[in-house]
Amino acid sequence: MLTFSRNLDKILLKNVERQLAACHSTWAEPKKEVKDEFRVLNLKHVKGQTQQRKQPRKTPVLPPRTNQMPVDQDWGSVWPGPRSFHPATVPLPVRQGYVEKDASPGKFGNAELMKIPNFLHLTPPVIKRQCEALKKFCTPWPKALDSDEKCEKHFPIEVTSSDYCHSSPSIREPLARIVNVQFKLAALKLNRRAKDKFLRLVGERYDEESDTVTIVTDRCPLKKQNYDYAMYLVTALYHESWNVEPWEELKTEADMEHYVWDNNASKASIEAVFAKPAEEIPNISVYSEAVSYFMNEGESEYTVSKYGEAVRRVLDLPLLDAQAVSEKNPVRSRMNHHGHAHHHHCEIITTNGHYMMPHYVLQAVLLGAAVIFAVLVVGFLIILDRAKFTNVVRARGQAQEAEELLVQALARFGQLNDT
Amino acid sequence: MLEKILSSCKLSSVSKIIEHAPIQFNRRLLYTTPVHYKKQAGRYRVTHRGDFPLTYEMANPPHQIAHRKSWNSWNTSNIVGGVRPAETAVEDVFIRKFMSGTWHNLFVSEIIIKRQYNIIRIAGIIQRTVNPRKLYFLIGYTEELLSFWLQCPIKLELQTVAERKDVIYKYI
C-alpha cells in the first residue's frame, strides 16, 4: 500500500505544489500493492519515512514512422488531406520558433508547427494527380474562340458574382447574392434615337470611356433571382429604348441636346449661298464639323479660329499664317485651347436666324470698339488736363486779386498816414 | 450626485453655480497622472530559485503573437467581412473548457482550434501518462460529443510526448 506522508513544512509543501504544476500527478491510479494494513500519518517529518512517489508508467512507444519510410514512397497516400503537422509522419528536419543564441526548437513537441497551416497535402505530384482525375469532367475549349475579340463578339454579356468560403458551419453569405452584368453598348442593335433613350434610361450605369453598361442587382435574396432580374432589366431596357411615345414626335429643334448641323439653318443658308445641295459643296464636311463643334463646345479661341479656318476653306480664301501653322500641327493648337465656354456670343451664328456673321465682321466690330475706346481715353485725358489748367489759371487770378487788394490796402494806409 | 459630492467638500458656492448649469457627461478631461504601463496578462513572474517551467507559448508574452508565436485559434470570423465572430469565440471557449476537463491533466500545450469550412480541427500535445486504450476512447468520445453539440465534423489531431519536460522551453 502506498504511504502518503503529509509535510507540514512550508517549503516542502511549496515544492510539492510546484511539482504538481510541472509534472503530471500519477495519484489518480494508485497501485494495488499492499505493504501495510494502514497508512501512517506522519505528522513530524521523520527522515526514515520519505515520501514515495510513483514512477510514471513506461508504455512502450514505437519509434517515429519517419525512420522506416522508403525514399520513393507515395507521399500523397501518407498525407492525403489537410491535417495538422505531426513530427513522426513528416520526414523533414523542420524547426520552428525563436531561441536567443541557440538553434530553433525542433519538430518534436513543438506546438508552433502544429498551429501554422501547412500544404503538405498539396504537393505538385498530388495536384497533378487531382487535375488528371478532374479532366474527365471537363470539356475542351471551343477552338473557334481563339481570341478575346471573338469571345466578346459571340458572348457579349459578362456576368460576375462572388462565392464565399468561410470557416463556419453555415454556407450562407448575404454578399453572394449580388450579380454584376456587363456588356458593350455597341453589342446592342440600336439606332441613334434608341441609343439616346437607352443612355437616358441607364443613366450613370454607362461608362463612356469603355462603352460599357454595368448593371448590378442585389435586391433579391438569391443569386439566381438577381441574375434573372438583371436579364429582365437588359431585355426591358432594350425594348423600351426602341419604343416611340406619341409625345416624342413633338420634339423641336429647340429641345435638342446637341447641335446637329444637318437639321439647322446653317445648312440651309450655305446651300442658298452656293445655290446647290450641301453634299456637292467642296470642303463642306470641314465647315459642318466646325459649326457643330462651335455650337456644342461653346465659344473659345480654338473653336472660333477653327470656324474661321473652315469658312476660308469653304469660300476658297487664302488661309492665315497662324491657321496654316495650326493645320501643320493641330495637336498643339488643340492643347492651347482648353474649352472655355463663352455662351454669350453664341448668337452671332444663329441657329434659326437668316443671316450669318462671318469671322471678319467680328474682327471689324472688335476694331471699332477698340477705336471708340481709344477716343474715349484721349478725351478723358484732355478733360483731365483742362481741369488742371483751369485750376492753375484760377489760382493765378486769385493771386492777382490778392495782390491788387494788398496794393489798394497799402495805398489806403498811406492816405490814412498822410491825413 | 455632483451636488452631494460638492457639498461634502464644503464648496457650497461652487455647487450653487453648478446647480443651474446643465451637467455635461460627455466632456473631456485632462488626465495629468503619469501612465503606469503595468502589463501583466500572459507574463510570468521570475522565481527566486529560477525553477518555474515555461513552455514556448508561456515564455512569449502576447505582443510576440505573429512575431515569435502564432494564434491558438484559426478561423475567418475576425477578418473583415467574417461571419459569426461572437459565436465562434464562445464555441472556442466551450471547446477549450471541455477539452481541459475531459483530457484532465493530459494536455501539455495550449489547445489549438483550427476551423476550415465547417470542420473544426482540435490540435495539441498530450503526455503519455495514460493507457493508449483510454486515449482512443477519449478521442472518439470527444469527437462524438463535440460534433453533436456544435453540429459540425470535429477532428482531433494530437501529438504525444513522453512527459511534460519535453515541451519545457525554459525555467525562470
Could you tell me which residues of chain A have a Cβ less than 8 Å from any Cβ in chain B? 18, 21-26, 56-57, 59, 61, 82-84, 86-88, 97-98, 105, 108-112, 114-117, 165-171, 173, 175
| A83 contacts on B by Cβ (under 8 Å) | 121, 157
- Domains of chain B are 53-171 (3.30.70.1350)
> Same structural domain for residues A115 and A185?
no
**B29-44: per-residue pLDDT in tens?**
888 888 888 888 999 9
Same domain flag for A178 and A237: yes
The verdict on residue A401 lying in a domain is: yes
Range of the domain at A86: 76-138
Residue A223, C-alpha cell as written in the block: 443569386
Residue A415: C-alpha distances to residues A401, A411, A412 (Å): 21, 6, 5
Contact B169, B135 (CB under 8 A): no
Specify the pairing of strand B53-55 against strand B73-74: unpaired
- Grid cell listed for B127: 503526455
Coil, strand or helix: which one is A290? helix
Note the pLDDT tens digit of each residue in A12-41: 445 545 554 444 444 444 445 555 677 777
Same domain for A172 and A243, yes or no, is: yes
Assess if residue A258 is contained within a domain: no
Q: Domain ends where: A138, A165, A183?
A: A138
Same domain, A308 and A384: no
Which member of A26, A108, A167 has the closest CB to residue B76? A167
**Do residues A174 and A213 both lie within one domain?**
yes
One domain, residues A243 and A159:
yes
Whether B163 sits inside 8 A of A56 (CB atoms) is: yes
Buried b / exposed e along A123-151 (16+ C-beta atoms within 10 A): eeebeeeeeeeeeeeeeeeeeeeeeeeee
Q: Does B123 touch chain A (CB under 8 A)?
A: yes
Examine the domain organization and report whether A231 and A155 are in the same domain: yes
Domain finish residue from A138, A161, A179: A138
A177 and A239 both lie in a single domain: yes
A115/B112 CB distance under 8 A: yes
Q: Are residues A185 and A215 in the same domain?
A: yes
| Of A268-272, A320-324, B71-75, the least confident | A320-324
> Which pLDDT does position A10 carry in this prediction?
52
A363 lies in some domain: no
Over 90: is that where the pLDDT of A59 sits?
no
Calpha distance A306→A295 (Å, rounded): 12
> Looking at per-residue confidence, does A331 or B19 come out higher?
B19
Query: What are the chain B neighbours of A118 within 8 Å (beta carbons)?
Result: none
Nearest Cα to Cα of residue A352 among A268, A258, A257 = A268
Per the structure, how many domains does chain A have?
5
For testing contact with chain A, the best of B44, B71, B90, B129 (most A CBs within 10 A): B129
Work out the pLDDT band at B56, boundaries 50, 70, 90. very high
Residues of A within 8 A of B53 (CB-CB) are 21-22
Helix (H) or strand (E) holding A311: helix A301-314
Residue-averaged pLDDT of chain A: 80
The secondary structure of B85-114 as a DSSP string is HHHHHHHHHHHHHHHHHHTTTTB-SPPEEE
Write the pLDDT tens digit of every residue in B106-124: 999 999 999 988 899 999 9
A289: in domain: no
Task: Compute the nearest-CA separation of A7 from chain B (Å).
Answer: 21
Q: Compute the count of residue pairs across chains A and B with CB atoms less than 8 Å apart.
A: 115
Residue at A65 is within a domain: no
pLDDT, residue B14, reads: 46
Residue B2 has pLDDT above 90, yes or no: no
Closest to B122 measured CA to CA, from A166, A80, A24, A83: A83
Residue B96 at interface with chain A, using a CB cutoff of 8 Å? no
pLDDT at A309 over 70: yes
Q: Give B 44-63 residues with CB within 8 A of chain A.
A: 51-53, 55-57, 60
Q: What is the percent of chain A with per-residue pLDDT over 90, rounded to a whole number?
A: 35
Beta strand segments in A36-117, E: none
The cell for B126 is 498530450
Q: Least CB-CB distance to A24: which of B110, B121, B127?
A: B127
Residue A165 shares a structural domain with residue A230: yes
- Asked whether residue A287 is assigned to any structural domain, the reply reads no
CA distance B161 to B166: 6
Q: Mind telling me how many Å the CA of B36 is from chain A's nearest CA?
A: 29
Summarize pLDDT for B120-140 with one digit per residue, the tens: 999 999 998 888 899 999 999
Q: Are residues A210 and A302 in the same domain?
A: no
